[in-house]
Structure 1
């Protein structure tokens, strides 16, 4: 019975994710091109087999999108790591599902949205993230922008560690 509920939740998540993507795509001039004929490598992967131990655990090559599954400790604040980006905020849009925990998304107007376990979310460009409770998220983001963000964050963390 629980398996049926999980399948229903996953189906609902995918439907909401796609509707959010389509609506936001038309509302803002964000150009995200899904290259469905350009999928490389695996087209599915078990959560248990997903990469671990990186700043952002992600897989590229899914039709122009990156998928990530991450666990963050409560108290994590991404704001200092984002300093140096435009407006000192993440400019990559993310569509996700919070599997466990609680997060706060803060946008460029300092508007805060709280997301709790079991909810789907959209983070438009121009945001930061604070993890209020140990969290696990599954996210989809444009591949090119996500690669650039990951490189920036790796360099920023290396710089911060040198300064200690």
Structure 2
């Protein structure tokens, strides 16, 4: 039976403001995410339909707080909360030091991450 931990994940990376450690298991990806800074994802999701994440996620908050904005409401997840985030959300606030696990369909996550990384790279100042 496959398994993964934050320490054994082979994908993802350290992006400064966020550390993402991931592993793909067939049709699903498990991500361990740690935020060092509060990040509003609205600029990073530009170019996706409605400029919102189109990938559903199931998760668990180990530490801190995560706020997801939907067209008609916000959802706040705190330490100890398990969550389901359907497509159409935008992470608008993540308390620095927050850590959570998310499980997502790999294909949808890959498409979303391609847009996020393109926008992230375009916003980064040159070295």
TM over 0.5: yes
Higher RCO structure (Cα 8 Å, ≥6 apart): 2
Q: Report the structure, 1 or 2, having the larger helix content.
A: 1
| Structure-2-length-normalised TM-score | 0.84
Structure 1, unaligned runs of 5 or more: 1-41
Of 136-145 and 125-134, the range deviating more from structure 2 = 125-134
Alignment partners' CA distance in 1, 2:8 and 2:23: 11
| Structure-1-length-normalised TM-score | 0.66
Report if the CA contact (8 A) 1:103-1:133 is conserved.
Answer: no
Per the alignment, residue 14 of structure 2 pairs with: 53
Root-mean-square deviation (CA, aligned residues, Å) is 2.0
Alignment partners' CA distance in 1, 2:122 and 2:47: 12
Report if the CA contact (8 A) 1:99-1:118 is conserved.
Answer: yes
Runs of 4+ in structure 1 over 3 Å off: none
Q: Report the structure, 1 or 2, having the larger strand content.
A: 2
Report if the CA contact (8 A) 2:61-2:82 is conserved.
Answer: yes
